Amino acid sequence: MCFIFGQQKVIVIDVGHGGIDSGAIGVNGVSEKDVVLDVGLEILRLNKTVLDNKLDIYLTRYKDTLISLTNRSKLTKNLKADVFVSLHCNASNLPSKGIEVYVHNWNNQNTKKSIALSIAVLDESTQKLGFKKRGVKFANFQVLRETTFCPAILVELGFVTNLDEADYFLKSQNIRAMALAVLLGITNYLNTRL
């Protein structure tokens, strides 16, 4: 694989929840905070092993600790990030499945770029992994509202309330596949913007 970057881009992967905040609990007992940490750590590893450290990637947490939403955004600003991707899992009382990506619902200077990044990540994760594509959506999530200085998205990686998708996250090769899809979505976005 060959990627051409003018300079090393700074990517912040926001690993949702953590510590006392477990996020959603799956029908199989899996917790959202663990799934997103597994995916985040695997994105770091794949950047090293597959992309030869082409990207400069930071996580907002590297272990099972809680960090406030405001501090996630502050860290991203201090790092002068080029891209912010917040990782979450979905949950619903209704039968639901698939992946959706959120952009903040107020127009800002990075809205168009955030939508392009969303589509790139959504396409990689749904087309390559076979998840249902729920689309790009808009919401007033705090972590997106406070991260308007760079393209910023929140990815709902699948429903832990859906047994197939909850079980998917139990296997390390599936975590790797999901991490690769998010990483390739980011690099596809960056490559089209050179």
Applying CB under 5 A, which residues contact Zn ion? 16, 23, 88
Cβ distance to Zn ion smaller for residue 16 or 185 = 16
Cβ distance to Zn ion smaller for residue 16 or 40 = 16
Cβ distance to Zn ion smaller for residue 23 or 151 = 23
For residue 80, the minimal CB distance to Zn ion (Å) is 26
For residue 14, the minimal CB distance to Zn ion (Å) is 10
> Could you tell me the CA-to-CA distances from 157 to 6, 57, 74, 108, 135 in Å, in that order?
30, 19, 24, 25, 12
Cβ distance to Zn ion smaller for residue 72 or 88 = 88
For residue 172, the minimal CB distance to Zn ion (Å) is 21
Q: Are 185 and 1 in contact (CB under 8 A)?
A: no
For residue 66, the minimal CB distance to Zn ion (Å) is 12
Residue nearest to Zn ion (CB): 88
For residue 104, the minimal CB distance to Zn ion (Å) is 16
Cβ distance to Zn ion smaller for residue 71 or 191 = 71
For residue 42, the minimal CB distance to Zn ion (Å) is 18
Exposure of 78 by Cβ count < 10 A (0-12 exposed, 13-18 middle, 19+ buried)? exposed
Q: Are 45 and 13 in contact (CB under 8 A)?
A: no
Please give the Cα distance from 72 to 5 (Å, whole number): 26
Cβ distance to Zn ion smaller for residue 23 or 185 = 23
**Per the structure block, which two tokens stand in for 18?**
């953590």
Alpha helices in the chain (DSSP H): 32-49, 69-78, 111-129, 142-145, 163-168, 172-192
Axis crossing angle, helix 32-49 with helix 172-192, rounded to the nearest 10: 60
